[in-house]
Amino acid sequence: MNYQPSDKSIRNMLVIFGDQLSMEATAFNELDKKLDAVLMMEVDHEATYIPQHKIRLVLFFSAMRHFRDALVKKGYRVLYTELEDQENTHSFAGEIERFVHSCQPHQVLVTEPGDYRVLSTLRNSLKALSVPLNVLPDDHFMCSQEEFKEFAQGQGSLLLERFYRSMRRRYGVLMQGDEPEGGQWNYDKDNRESFGKEGSLNVPRVKTFEPDPITREVIHLVEKRYADNPGHLDFFDYPVTRQHALEALEDFIANRLPDFGRYQDAMVTGHPYLYHSRLACVLNLHLLDPREVIDAAVSSYYSGKAPLNSVEGFVRQILGWREYVRGVYWLKMPDYEHQNALNAQLEMPVFMWTAETDMRCLQTCLQQLVDHAYAHHIQRLMVLGLFSILLGVNPWKVHEWHMSMYADAVDWVSVPNVLGMSQYADGGFLATKPYAASGNYIQKMSNYCRDCCYNPKQASGEKACPITTLYWDFLDRHREVIRVNHRMKFQYSNLMRKSDEEMSAIRQQAESLRKRFT
Ligand code: FAD
Ligand code: SF4
């Protein structure tokens, strides 16, 4: 069903994008239900400019349709283009022009979008149409763009820790006066357990959501319209409404938060989510507010249900990292996307879309992506991102692949995490050193190597682990840029111990891997 206003008398037209699905947004304070209208658009261009995972498409379109219906129920006038509408021009610019012509709004309102490209499109389109655009601050976030700019002023490289502590103090989260709860700001040392080679069988399963008629209709549409896009829809079970999002939060807090900290970095075959929350998608669609997520976690600690190392570790992700990367994105865009400090130029290997590889670590994480459009942080950083940086894939291509494969990917969060944290494309602005490791790390933190045809300890020869080969080759190739980094001293002192013969075999093997993969 498509909702259209019956007349042309629109005063304000509020554009709501698919990642802005909050009724609490301050933009709604500007709306008069009689005089104003909301515009929401499903367009082909956003699904195909980078071919999107089918799960990601269903998540966005279904959540948008549910939100549209909730708005209509509340009495808002909603202009909504569905993908199959005859007049749909299939781009944001085209749809905005079409609705500006038909409704002639006095001005267009929008909450700061999560994508620089989308904001530029909106600005350019409305300028060309001579309609004023009012961009409102996004108060979903706990640190505004201006506040972050103030924090960053005069700092050469930004430290998450400083930012995080300032946010804890500002919001009084896990604080006793001016001191951190428990006397420490950070419990990372308690948060590095793995399950060992055998893995664990007792991890509580994540709460799943059966597709309702709206979601089923969208699944059908996506299957038909985007048949060749990556991934499949056999297991679609994501939350798509505010009610679902609250239930997903409750499930995480009750069942997985207590062990979140302890196993934060662990990886186990057959357990894609482990003790992680799977809340990034609903947070990024704004179906959940970060404040309520933090409050729920902190209450769990004060009521004795979850230990401090888990709660602090989780709070740091939301109040620290999530706000921090968003700040970095708006501080550094648009120049940030062109960074490539290691001059990496290769294409993404084709198996990164299909999971067809004999490397067990990659195969497991990629199959999870194909099946669920999800991998947890350490899989992203220390398997998939690690492989890409070691191989030498162009960082922007890694970001594009990321945007296409993850349900929770939105530009503001993917760009800094992929280019900055994972691929070191900004030369150390966001991460103080490249996340580079050999197969030994993966062996320590997962049970993947147990069933792999390669040996993580071997860097050359038939059974050599490609991650280990590429790791030594990476350190060797980037000596000039990376060796000066004092945090890499230990790694370089190990590299120096390798004989010329060993290094020559590694270089040769790495070269043949690059040829094989790209
Ligand atoms: P949990 O492990 O349960 O963590 C709780 C929450 O903390 C997450 O839901 C998320 O909202 C927040 N969070 C944790 N780490 C980060 C971070 N580094 N940046 C921002 N928020 C964080 N997160 C996304 O939401 N979208 C992305 O596109 C994205 N791309 C990433 C790419 C790479 C290469 C890396 C290393 C990380 C990326 N992250 C991204 C951050 C993080 O990995 C995911 O938020 C998390 O894995 C999502 O799963 P979860 O909800 O189960 O998270
Ligand atoms: Fe991955 Fe190497 Fe372990 Fe195989 S041996 S799972 S390729 S780290």
Closest C-alpha to ligand 1, atom 45: 280
User: For a pocket test of ligand 1, which of 191, 322, 424 has the largest count of ligand atoms closer than 8 A to its C-beta?
Assistant: 322
Closest C-alpha to ligand 1, atom 18: 321
For residue 196, pLDDT over 80 is answered with: no
Interacting residues of 179 by C-beta distance below 8 A, sequence separation 6+ = none
How do residues 383-409 score in pLDDT, each as one tens digit?
Answer: 999 999 999 999 999 999 999 999 999
Closest ligand 1 atom to Cα of 264 = 2
**% pLDDT > 70, the chain:** 97
How do residues 96-129 score in pLDDT, each as one tens digit?
Answer: 999 999 999 999 999 999 999 999 999 999 999 9
Q: Are 261 and 191 in contact (CB under 8 A)?
A: yes
pLDDT of residue 483: 87
Please name the residue ranges forming H helices in 318-438. 323-332, 351-354, 360-372, 377-379, 385-391, 395-405, 411-415
Ligand of minimum distance to the alpha carbon of 386: 1
Distance 273 CA to ligand 1 centre (A): 12
Distance 461 CA to ligand 2 centre (A): 14
The β-bridge relationship of strands 78-81 and 107-111 is unpaired
When pLDDT is cut at 50, 70 and 90, the band that residue 4 belongs to is low
Closest C-alpha to ligand 1, atom 5: 317
Task: Report the C-alpha gap between 14 and 35 in whole angstroms.
Answer: 12
Ligand of minimum distance to the alpha carbon of 321: 1
Q: Phi first, then psi: what are they for 313, rounded to 5°?
A: -60, -40
When pLDDT is cut at 50, 70 and 90, the band that residue 182 belongs to is very high
Distance 118 CA to ligand 2 centre (A): 39
Q: 396: closest CA among 359, 346, 445, 442?
A: 346
pLDDT of residue 2: 47
pLDDT of residue 282: 98
Distance 369 CA to ligand 1 centre (A): 14
The β-bridge relationship of strands 133-136 and 12-15 is unpaired
For the chain, what is the mean pLDDT?
94
Distance 47 CA to ligand 2 centre (A): 33
When pLDDT is cut at 50, 70 and 90, the band that residue 192 belongs to is confident
Distance 351 CA to ligand 1 centre (A): 23
How do residues 133-164 score in pLDDT, each as one tens digit?
Answer: 999 999 999 999 999 999 999 776 678 999 99
How do residues 318-336 score in pLDDT, each as one tens digit?
Answer: 999 999 999 999 999 999 9
For residue 1, pLDDT over 50 is answered with: no
For residue 501, pLDDT over 90 is answered with: yes
How do residues 350-379 score in pLDDT, each as one tens digit?
Answer: 999 999 999 999 999 999 999 999 999 999
Task: Report the C-alpha gap between 377 and 265 in whole angstroms.
Answer: 8
Beta carbon of 267 within 6 Å of any ligand 2 atom: no
Looking at per-residue confidence, does 256 or 483 come out higher? 256
Closest C-alpha to ligand 1, atom 27: 409
Closest ligand 1 atom to Cα of 398 = 34
Distance 383 CA to ligand 2 centre (A): 9
How do residues 459-498 score in pLDDT, each as one tens digit?
Answer: 999 999 999 999 999 999 999 889 888 899 999 999 999 9
pLDDT of residue 77: 95
User: For a pocket test of ligand 2, which of 447, 448, 463 has the largest count of ligand atoms closer than 8 A to its C-beta?
Assistant: 448
Distance 377 CA to ligand 1 centre (A): 6
Closest ligand 2 atom to Cα of 468 = 2
Q: Are 437 and 386 in contact (CB under 8 A)?
A: yes
Task: Report the C-alpha gap between 456 and 381 in whole angstroms.
Answer: 18
Taking residues 253-267, what's their average pLDDT?
Answer: 95
Closest ligand 2 atom to Cα of 439 = 8
Task: Report the C-alpha gap between 40 and 16 in whole angstroms.
Answer: 5
Distance 422 CA to ligand 2 centre (A): 19
When pLDDT is cut at 50, 70 and 90, the band that residue 188 belongs to is confident
How do residues 261-272 score in pLDDT, each as one tens digit?
Answer: 999 999 999 999
